[in-house]
Structure 1
Amino acid sequence: MVDTDRIVGGAKELGGKIQGAAGDFVGSNRDSAEGRLREAQGRAQDAYGQAKDTARNVADEAGDRAQDAYGQAKDAYGQARSKIRDVADNVTDYAADAYDRRGDYLRDGREAVSSRVEENPLVALLIAGAVGYGLALLLHGRR
């Protein structure tokens, strides 16, 4: 959108040129000087309008970029939130599965320990004694 100062400034500049040229043509120094002054005022007003247009365009561009950045951040947030939910669902499923299979794991472990103890009862007794001694040290400490 073109600023009105640019239009008015352009019109003043043109009017000033015409007045200055007419003053030069008829030999009127006063009209010539007023025309040059009006022409300069018109240029200044046009420059002011251009500066306002530029500032408006820069502000619009900054707003557009900020809006784009906000949209990208919002999308990234949504993606991160979705991934976190997926991971939480997977962890929950894994924990539920482990909880459901706890009896199987306990039974398998008990059978494995039983078979090792039956195969090597002396080693199992030494390990149990070492674990008991370690627990006694932890509970009572050295004095």
Structure 2
Amino acid sequence: MDENSIAGAAREFGGKVQGAAGTVAGNDETRAEGKRDEVGGATETRVGQASDTVRDVAGEAGDLADRAIDTGRDVLPEAGAAPRRGGDTLTQYAKEFPLAFAAMAGALGYLLAVAIRRRR
């Protein structure tokens, strides 16, 4: 439970007591102060409840993400190895054909520069 919820509930209760005391005593100022504290406490309680809800939802989202990752690993155990294999293939190609690889990298860089320049 969020500390705002606890403090708000205490403030709200205190405001109700103060408002009732002001009503009994016929003191409008005390009654108004009590009402102000009651409303402020109720607001603080709602803020605390909202914080609790956000914290709970964030925790649930994290749990769901963890379960999704675990399920993905179970269903596709080799999926994590694919990028590694692709990198190994590129490394192998660069070692066997360094000039062709350099020309291909240069051409790719040129195309990216042209594409970026056109977007501006």
Query: Do both share a fold (TM > 0.5)?
Result: yes
> Is the contact between residue 73 and residue 79 of structure 2 (CA under 8 Å) also seen in structure 1?
no
TM-score (norm 1): 0.54
Tell me how many residue pairs correspond in the alignment.
Answer: 80
Percent identity for Structure 1 against Structure 2: 44
Question: Where does the alignment leave 5 or more consecutive residues of structure 1 unmatched?
Answer: 82-143
TM-aligned CA deviation for residue 80 of structure 1: 7.5
Q: Which runs of 5+ in 2 are unaligned?
A: 81-120
1:80 and 1:44 map into 2 onto residues whose CA distance is 50
Q: Deviations over 1:3-62 (max 9, x none)?
A: 000000000000000000000011111100000000000000001001101111110110
1:62-87 per-residue CA deviation (whole Å, 9 max, x = no partner) reads: 00100000100111222779xxxxxx
Query: Structure 1: which amino acid aligns with 2:38?
Result: E
Which structure has the larger Rg?
Answer: 1
What is the Cα-based RMSD across aligned positions, in Å? Answer: 1.5
Given the two structures, how large is their TM-score scaled by the length of structure 2?
A: 0.63
SS of the residue corresponding to residue 17 of structure 1 reads helix
Greater RCO (Cα-Cα under 8 Å, separation 6 or more):
2
Partner residue in 1 for 2:71: 72
